């Protein structure tokens, strides 16, 4: 179709017609841009690709050259002197209908249903959208008369899709050895919901996988027993209560008390002489009234702890001493700028005219949001910053206030980086926490000698870090998670403590020696070998050698763990735990918009189903919700 005829006119239009060509039968006719007959081409009935290409050419030509298309002459193959052309106003309409029929045949009703369903679920759209006449006309027009699903049909399909998604998720979790969950409670419009997500590591590629488990309504007060019962119910519903490593939550008092009261092993003691006998029948009869809940260890959110250090401990240190006055004056002027920008679109345009950037108001509950807002302001040249203040009608920042803010941004940049790191998901493991906190302390200490305003502020921040992460540094699980991460191994430990950690790795890896393959020999012989301790030692020599080679390695990539199967199993066990509950917080929002049933006209159950379908869409892509 890109050839030129003898007159130099390029072929721009192709018309389809079932002409009775005596030599070739059914043909395509090509007309050049001068309206002259160019040639005809054999229609290959077995070549749908060729036909679709020609149809696409017609569509493009009609859209880009509508006047030429309407004026194109009609081609007739049965004229007395061969192919002739004649002007006919009916021909273009006939050709257009042929094009539309081809496009419409490619869109089936199940395809339309799937697209509408995904549109409603991905953005948690209001059910009223399905009833809007404009939306229904849009779907009918784009699909060639296909109908959009009704409100009731969509609700029925939600239930069907949710059931398939849940079955698929349970099937995936059955093949996983270790999981961790995150939990949080969200309150909006006088209604409370508990959200839970589940996380594990794919054993072959060592990739983090995540899924949403629940976003259920909680009625009544958020007491520790109510929360504990709901968490336990969700764990049991997905059959993960026996493979759970920890549940990660924020440091709120309600969650802390839940795990303090119901943590596994809290009621255990070594006083075996105080034995009490109870009637088992009575216990079983009263099981509904007195449910015994056993939850695995609680992992506090490292991101929340770090945010408390930045928003509370740092703010308290800044409000004392010589820095208090400059801190309050500088931040007050910044707040005025943020409020002005946030309140009026005209102020946003004024700032963009001065400097091609957008100033955003920080979130009050997120220190790193405030840090980014300050960083963006001080990134402006001082003259530009003065122009911004003048255009907004706010007091100018003085030179020493700008100097203070620049030092503030420079000194606490490692703190902001650590916060962003902890709030990740795909590449964030528990083994990342201890090295990150140690590096943060080191960088803050290095900044002390370079500061003019914040010298007396750094020490209180360091003390707050030690206090809030004291429990984590004493955790064996956290140490094992760090030691089995190739990026860190034992390099983060002092020399005097590395040998003890080496022995702990060997002790933890030894029981996993036979997990990758079945033992050779009978079970009876194995039991006898385990009982008798005479003869040459064959117990953990292989394990010791593997751990030694791992610790002497230098690769920082997770892929190197395939050469150390026992260490890899330890990595899967201890690094399954996330250091942050940020994923469950993201469950409640989408692109910064808070999701609530009231906004979408959904019941509590329907809202949970839609929310989980959206979050778990990548996990259940293989399931066909709409049969062809």
> pLDDT by residue (tens digit) across 550-584?
999 999 999 999 999 999 999 999 999 998 888 88
Q: Domain for residue 423, yes or no? A: yes
Q: Domain for residue 448, yes or no? A: yes
**Which is nearest to 560 in space by CA: 508, 487, 502, 482?**
487
49 and 84: one domain?
yes
Mean pLDDT of 385-409: 88
With 60 as the cut, is the pLDDT of residue 93 above it? no
With 50 as the cut, is the pLDDT of residue 272 above it? no
CA dist 492 and 302 (Å) reads 18
154 and 229: one domain?
yes
366 and 296: one domain?
no
Burial (CB < 10 A; 0-12, 13-18, 19+), residue 227, is: buried
- In percent, the amount of the chain with pLDDT more than 70 equals 65
Local structure of residue 608 (DSSP, 8 states): H
How many CB atoms within 10 Å of residue 400? 13
H helices within 344-448, ranges in order?
345-354, 367-378, 382-392, 399-411, 413-422, 433-448
β-pairing, 82-86 vs 208-218, is: unpaired
Beta strands in 227-339 (DSSP E): 244-249, 298-300
H/E segment holding residue 14: strand 11-21
Output the pLDDT for position 58. 61
Q: Which of 532 and 293 is assigned the larger pLDDT?
A: 293
- Of 442, 473, 504, the residue that ends a domain is 473
Q: Which residue has the tokens 């409670």?
A: 185
H/E segment holding residue 218: strand 208-218
Q: Which of 112 and 279 is assigned the larger pLDDT?
A: 112
Question: pTM for this one?
Answer: 0.71
With 70 as the cut, is the pLDDT of residue 377 above it? yes
Q: Which of 308 and 538 is assigned the larger pLDDT?
A: 308
Output the pLDDT for position 23. 57
155 and 213: one domain?
yes
Lowest-pLDDT range of 144-153, 281-290, 309-318, 434-443: 281-290
Are the C-beta atoms of residues 487 and 561 closer than 8 Å to each other? no
φ and ψ at 384, to 5 degrees? Answer: -65, -40
Give the confidence band of 379 by pLDDT, cuts at 50, 70, 90: confident
315 and 434: one domain?
yes
Are the C-beta atoms of residues 362 and 370 closer than 8 Å to each other? yes
CA dist 341 and 377 (Å) reads 12
Cα end-to-end span (Å), the chain: 36
Output the pLDDT for position 354. 61
With 90 as the cut, is the pLDDT of residue 443 above it? yes
With 50 as the cut, is the pLDDT of residue 91 above it? no
Output the pLDDT for position 284. 40
With 80 as the cut, is the pLDDT of residue 120 above it? yes
Output the pLDDT for position 386. 85
With 70 as the cut, is the pLDDT of residue 254 above it? no
With 80 as the cut, is the pLDDT of residue 42 above it? no
Lowest-pLDDT range of 112-116, 214-218, 410-414, 601-605: 601-605
CA dist 578 and 428 (Å) reads 7
Q: Domain for residue 4, yes or no? A: no
425 and 464: one domain?
yes
Q: Which of 385 and 293 is assigned the larger pLDDT?
A: 385
135 and 232: one domain?
yes
Mean pLDDT of 417-429: 85
117 and 248: one domain?
yes
Q: Which of 1 and 54 is assigned the larger pLDDT?
A: 54
**Which is nearest to 240 in space by CA: 145, 188, 172?**
172
- What tens digit of pLDDT does each residue of 597-610 get? 656 677 888 888 98
Mean pLDDT of 443-468: 93
407 and 318: one domain?
yes
Q: At what angle do helices 455-468 and 433-448 cross, to 10 degrees?
A: 160
Q: Domain for residue 338, yes or no? A: yes
Q: Which of 361 and 444 is assigned the larger pLDDT?
A: 444
Q: Domain for residue 560, yes or no? A: no
CA dist 415 and 403 (Å) reads 19
φ and ψ at 109, to 5 degrees? Answer: -65, -40
Q: How many CA atoms lie within 13 A of 276 on its CB side?
A: 3
- Of 473, 504, 533, the residue that ends a domain is 473
Output the pLDDT for position 123. 78
Mean pLDDT of 84-96: 47
- Of 44, 72, 105, the residue that ends a domain is 105
**Number of domains observed in the structure of the chain:** 3
Q: Domain for residue 532, yes or no? A: no
Q: CA angle 446-452-458, nearest 5°?
A: 45
Q: Domain for residue 138, yes or no? A: yes
β-pairing, 244-249 vs 298-300, is: parallel
Mean pLDDT of 237-262: 76
253 and 323: one domain?
no
H/E segment holding residue 480: helix 476-483
Q: Which of 349 and 503 is assigned the larger pLDDT?
A: 503
- Determine the structural domain holding residue 94 and report its residue range: 11-105
Please, what is the average pLDDT of the chain?
Answer: 75
173 and 66: one domain?
no
Lowest-pLDDT range of 131-135, 269-273, 298-302: 269-273
Mean pLDDT of 200-215: 90
CA dist 415 and 126 (Å) reads 40
Give the confidence band of 437 by pLDDT, cuts at 50, 70, 90: very high
Q: Domain for residue 528, yes or no? A: no
Output the pLDDT for position 25. 56
250 and 322: one domain?
no
**Which is nearest to 202 in space by CA: 614, 575, 539?**
575
Give the confidence band of 385 by pLDDT, cuts at 50, 70, 90: confident
**Candidate ranges 142-151, 520-529, 570-579; pick with highest mean pLDDT:** 570-579
């Amino acid at each position: 179709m890109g050839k030129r005829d003898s007159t130099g006119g390029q072929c721009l239009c192709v018309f389809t017609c079932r002409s009775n060509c005596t030599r070739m039968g059914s043909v395509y006719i090509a007309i050049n841009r001068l309206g002259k007959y160019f040639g005809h081409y054999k229609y290959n009935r077995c070549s749908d690709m060729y036909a679709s290409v020609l149809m696409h050419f017609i569509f493009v030509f009609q859209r880009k050259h509508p006047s030429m298309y309407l004026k194109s002459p009609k081609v007739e193959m049965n004229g007395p002197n061969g192919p002739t052309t004649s002007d006919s106003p009916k021909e273009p309409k006939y050709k257009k209908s042929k094009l539309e029929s081809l496009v419409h045949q490619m869109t089936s009703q199940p395809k339309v249903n799937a697209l509408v369903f995904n549109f409603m679920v991905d953005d948690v759209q209001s059910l009223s959208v399905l009833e809007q006449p404009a939306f229904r006309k849009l779907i009918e027009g784009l699909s060639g008369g296909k109908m959009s699903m009704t409100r009731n049909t969509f609700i029925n399909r939600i239930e069907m899709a949710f059931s398939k998604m849940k079955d698929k998720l349970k099937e995936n979790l059955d093949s996983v050895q270790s999981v961790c969950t995150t939990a949080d409670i969200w309150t909006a419009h006088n209604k409370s919901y508990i959200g839970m997500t589940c996380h594990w590591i794919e054993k072959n590629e060592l990739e983090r996988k995540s899924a949403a488990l629940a976003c259920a309504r909680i009625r009544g007060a958020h007491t520790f027993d109510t929360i504990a019962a709901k968490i336990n119910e969700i764990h049991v519903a997905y059959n993960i209560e026996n493979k759970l490593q920890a549940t990660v939550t924020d440091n709120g008092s309600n969650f802390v008390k839940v795990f303090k009261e119901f943590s596994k092993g809290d009621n255990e003691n070594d006083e075996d002489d105080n034995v009490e006998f109870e009637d088992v029948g009575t216990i079983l009869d009263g099981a509904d009234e007195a449910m015994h809940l056993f939850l695995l260890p609680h992992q506090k959110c490292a991101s929340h702890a770090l945010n408390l250090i930045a928003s509370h401990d740092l703010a308290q240190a800044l409000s004392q001493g010589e820095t208090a006055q400059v801190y309050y004056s500088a931040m007050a002027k910044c707040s005025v700028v943020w409020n002005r920008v946030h309140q009026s679109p005209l102020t946003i345009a004024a700032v963009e005219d001065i400097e091609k950037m957008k100033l955003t108001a920080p979130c009050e509950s997120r220190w790193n949001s405030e840090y980014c807002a300050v960083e963006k302001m001080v990134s402006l040249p001082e003259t530009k910053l003065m122009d911004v203040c003048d255009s907004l009608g706010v007091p100018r920042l003085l030179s020493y206030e700008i100097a203070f803010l620049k030092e503030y941004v420079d000194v606490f940049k490692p703190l902001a980086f650590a916060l962003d790191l902890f709030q990740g998901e795909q590449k964030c493991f528990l083994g990342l926490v201890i090295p990150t906190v140690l590096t943060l302390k080191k960088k803050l200490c290095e900044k002390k000698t370079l500061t003019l305003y914040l010298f007396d502020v750094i020490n209180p921040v360091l003390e707050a870090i030690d206090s809030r992460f004291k429990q984590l540094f004493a955790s064996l699980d956290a140490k094992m998670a760090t030691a089995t991460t190739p990026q860190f191994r034992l390099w983060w430990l002092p020399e005097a403590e590395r040998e003890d950690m080496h022995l702990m790795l060997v002790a933890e890896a030894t029981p996993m020696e036979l997990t990758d393959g079945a033992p050779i020999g009978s079970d009876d012989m194995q039991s006898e070998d385990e009982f008798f301790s005479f003869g040459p030692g064959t117990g953990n020599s292989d394990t010791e050698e593997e751990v030694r080679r791992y610790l002497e390695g230098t690769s920082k990539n997770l892929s190197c763990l395939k050469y150390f199967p026992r260490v890899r199993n330890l990595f899967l066990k201890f690094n399954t735990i996330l250091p942050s509950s940020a994923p469950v917080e993201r469950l409640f929002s989408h692109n910064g918009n808070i999701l609530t049933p009231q906004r979408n006209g959904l019941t509590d159950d329907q809202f949970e189903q839609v929310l989980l379908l959206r979050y778990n869409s990548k996990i259940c892509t293989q399931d066909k919700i709409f049969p062809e």
